[in-house]
Amino acid sequence: MEKPREKLLLHNDAKELRIEELLSIILGHGTANINVYKLSEHLADFLRSKLNQQITIDDLTQFEGVGEAKAAQILSALELGRRFASNSIQKRLSDDNWDFADLKQSERQYGVHFFHHYTAKFIPQIPSKIIKQFAKSNDIVVDPFMGSGTALIEAKLLGCHSYGLDTNPLAVKIAKAKTMLMNETKAKEIDRFLEWVEKRKRYPDKASINSLEQDPFPVIKSWFRPDVAYKINLILNEINNYSPDVQNFLQIGLSTLLKGMSNARMDSVTPVLPENPIYTDKKHYYREVNNLTRKIPVYGRVYSQINRMKYAIMYLNKETDNKLVCKPIIGDARELSKHVKHCDLIVTSPPYWSAQNYARIHMLSFKIFDIKTEEGKEIGRVSTSYLDDMEIVFNQIASILKGHFALVIGEDIKKRSNERLFSIAQRIGFHHVDTVTRRISNQVSRAKQIKIEFIYIFRI
């Protein structure tokens, strides 16, 4: 019989050898009780049974004739093969079309993604495709700039554990609502709230604004009509009757409706009061808006939003494993390693050097729910320290990551920050694997001046 080593030397091509023969070359010899060929057969059968599963030193040393040294050699050979195969055979992300030009608004906000408006978040299709490519079941996915939790939700849908950080307390509230673990008690609480809203809608209270116990926030008289403020205050008082998770869930449902029910201009992202209560909405077909008389069905909007949210969160819980960790964290990406010790994949869209001021954009929510935040300390608010701050974040990522790093960032023609971040990543030691270039069309929550977005794929 031709020996495996001789066969390899003769053909000069490892593909000519069976798995058992390749293993026998690594093993070198057997024991007094089992020859190397028989041992290789047993090992090959075991490896086939563990396809796509993690194999440890202990798994291999259970076989007679395989000590820790041989087990380490086998694992090293398997990992080398996996890495080379991943780099040479795996389809490159850049081979696909990433423009998503034909996506409808409903497709950009499917499932729980519609819960709350959040400026400059990436569409769920982006993290979904990245996670499918670079993570497997039970891997840990981290987004250091979590925003409203898009990447965390997609990771959970794909069977991965996930952690997300953000310095914005409202972002964490939104992400917690989107990832809330449901049970029968919480479902009944939400139903009880909906029954209360439905009752209010059918039998409106005749009380006046004068019976308001306290204002939702100090500037209520300018931001909301008295009739609207009165109903919002009743809803806030009712929300306080539920458990903390359900309170947060209901608050987020109300929060996303606040601006639309307020006197703020409808054509401004940041809440701004019009000079006159009757004004022209320059964003929506130049229609006239009359804040004095326009219909604002507070209870109807709240009922519709919460009811839709309830079915979405129930579906997410039904379709995913509730044992998966899905944890939104209030924290700074510059201190990532304090919150997460290791992960398999990073997917994130960092702030730009001229970062959005979320406290101003969501001013009504911050005031009505008494959300406190330290303005000016978040990355991007101080342009002179932006690159230094991002380098700290990249070093933090390098300290916990053992897989791929996907950086989603728009083209910065003026300051070339995307190019500079790319260079920083390489300088730290990230290996560039691929670059996806996508055209941003039908923009909903991106800055309008950004036409091109890059997805840089690195591996540590």
The model's pLDDT over 414-433, given as tens digits with 9 standing for 90+, comes to 888 999 999 999 999 999 99
Is residue 84 scored above 80 in pLDDT?
no
> Where are the domains positioned within the chain?
4-88, 93-177+322-459, 184-306
Is the pLDDT assigned to residue 146 strictly greater than 70? yes
pLDDT in tens, 262-310: 999 999 989 999 999 999 999 888 899 999 999 999 999 999 999 999 9
Residue 209 scores a pLDDT above 70: no
* DSSP bridge pairs for 163: 142, 327
Alpha-carbon dihedral angle through residues 441, 442, 446, 449, given to the nearest 10 degrees: 60
Share of the chain above pLDDT 90, in %: 62
CATH 3.65.10.10 for domain 93-177+322-459:
no
The arithmetic mean of pLDDT across residues 17-37, rounded, is 86
pLDDT at site 103: 84
Distance CA(418)–CA(424), nearest Å, equals: 10
- Which of 132, 98, 127, 93 lies closest to 111 in space, CA to CA? 127
The gap between the terminal CA atoms of the chain, to the nearest Å, is 44
Say if residue 445's pLDDT is above 70.
Answer: no
Please, are residues 118 and 174 in contact by the beta-carbon 8 Å criterion? yes
Instruction: Provide the pLDDT for residue 352.
Output: 79
What span, in angstroms and rounded, lies between the C-alpha atoms of 272 and 361?
A: 10
Residue 53: the pLDDT is 78
404: closest CA among 98, 83, 148? 83
pLDDT tens-digit map of 88-133 = 545 688 888 888 888 888 888 999 999 999 988 889 999 999 999 9
pLDDT score of 91: 67
pLDDT at site 18:
82
User: What's the whole-model pTM score?
Assistant: 0.78
Q: Over 60: is that where the pLDDT of 192 sits?
A: yes
pLDDT exceeds 80 at position 353: no
d(CA 455, CA 436): 5
- Residue 444's pLDDT is 45
- 376, 407, 411: which is closest to 390 by C-alpha? 407
- Is pLDDT larger for residue 254 or for residue 220? 254
φ/ψ of residue 70, rounded to 5: -65, -40
According to DSSP, the residues that pair with 142 across neighbouring strands are 163, 346
